[in-house]
Amino acid sequence: MGTYLYAITATGHPLRLSGLDGVGDPAAQLRTVRTKDLCAVVSDAPPELRAKRRDVAAHQGVQECLLADGAALPMRFGLVGTDDAQVTAVLEQDRDSYLRRLAEVDGCREYHLKVARDEDDLLREIMRESAEVRRLNDRTRQNPGAYDDRMALGELISQEVQVRQERDRSDIVARLAPAAVRAADAEATKSHFLSVSFLVEREKATAFSEAVHEEAGQRGDTYTFSLHGPLPPYSFV
């Protein structure tokens, strides 16, 4: 059957699980697997586990309740151990690492930031600042059959885009980092050149949101900032 994992806490956590449902249909009963210093909140794993809305909501609901009462390391949806004994062995084996993580995320939540930039605005900037791009662009317009020049122009623009996006990524993260405990890069998407998670202390959440708003305002309408949170600190577990 397997053991389904929701989160890891220290043994001193209140662990108020009464009234909470686990994943599965019917809902699995929550229980704990304990060592001297750590506790894993678990249940029996359902025979067929899928990311259905009800199960995802149950998974997140357990984590939200735990985080409301203290530090917890939220596990990703769908994490299943062989049995309780294996979970116990992992808690004992990685005890020091889990305790360090718990200390780090205590009193913190995750905020995920995505940033996009208008492509036309970026291309105009490249055209304005790169003499070589302007030269190749003029040559291809005058001679549409110049295949080598078109290839060179495309490669150069691609390089310039990467350089500017990397510069923007570094600048934005550097400006926001002082308002956070840590930052963790996520994989960028086709539409967003920056995707990063910040671990933020709860009492500094307003200051962090204001810092993001200020950064967005300084960059203008050609940049789109999307901030999501507070979230369980998945990226820092």
Helix, strand, coil percentages for the chain (3-state, nearest 5): 50, 25, 30
Residue 173, pLDDT score: 96
Q: Are 5 and 40 in contact (CB under 8 A)?
A: yes
Residue 187, pLDDT score: 78
Q: Are 121 and 221 in contact (CB under 8 A)?
A: no
Residue 219, pLDDT score: 94
Residue 225, pLDDT score: 97
E-strand ranges in 78-135 read 80-81, 108-117
Strand partners, 22: none
- Judge whether residue 3 has pLDDT over 90: yes
Q: Which of the two residues, 117 and 146, has the higher pLDDT score?
A: 117
Question: How far apart (Å, rounded) are the C-alpha atoms in residues 229 and 153?
Answer: 41
- Residue 69: Cβ within 10 Å count: 12
* Torsion angle, alpha carbons of 51, 56, 62, 65, to 10: 150
For 195-232, write each residue's pLDDT tens digit: 999 999 999 999 999 999 999 999 999 999 999 999 99
Residue 201, pLDDT score: 95
Residue 93, pLDDT score: 96
Q: With bands split at pLDDT 50, 70 and 90, how would you rate the model's confidence at 51?
A: confident
For 158-190, write each residue's pLDDT tens digit: 999 999 999 999 999 999 999 999 999 887 778
Length of the chain: 237
Q: What pTM value is reported for the model?
A: 0.83
- C-alpha gyration radius of the chain: 24
Residue 144, pLDDT score: 75
